[in-house]
Amino acid sequence: MKQIPIRWKTNCRSKITGCDGLIVLLSKKTYNADGAKWEMKCAAEEGIPSLGIHIHADDKGAIPSELEGKTIEWNWGGISKFLNNL
């Protein structure tokens, strides 16, 4: 696993803690994206609700464990529901 510079993590954490929720756009590459997985883990540690959205209904990748049970296919109703529940 590649190391992500600490300064980047510090800046990212401060941005995440200022958010009401985190939406992750999921592709086949997200599962192996160290930075994206760190952001999802950070949001969970900070108590920020997260939602993963598959960007391709017919070409889905593996779901990162950080989003298990928190994913939908791209649709405005699901996105709106998540945002309204924040």
Domain boundaries, the chain: 6-84
pLDDT at residue 82 tops 80: yes
Distances (CA, A) of 3 to 8, 28, 35, 40, 63: 11, 21, 9, 16, 21
pLDDT at residue 49 tops 70: yes
Pair of tokens at residue 21: 């929720």
- State pTM to two decimals: 0.85
pLDDT at residue 56 tops 80: yes
pLDDT at residue 4 tops 70: no
pLDDT at residue 3 tops 70: no
- pLDDT, average across residues 54-79: 92
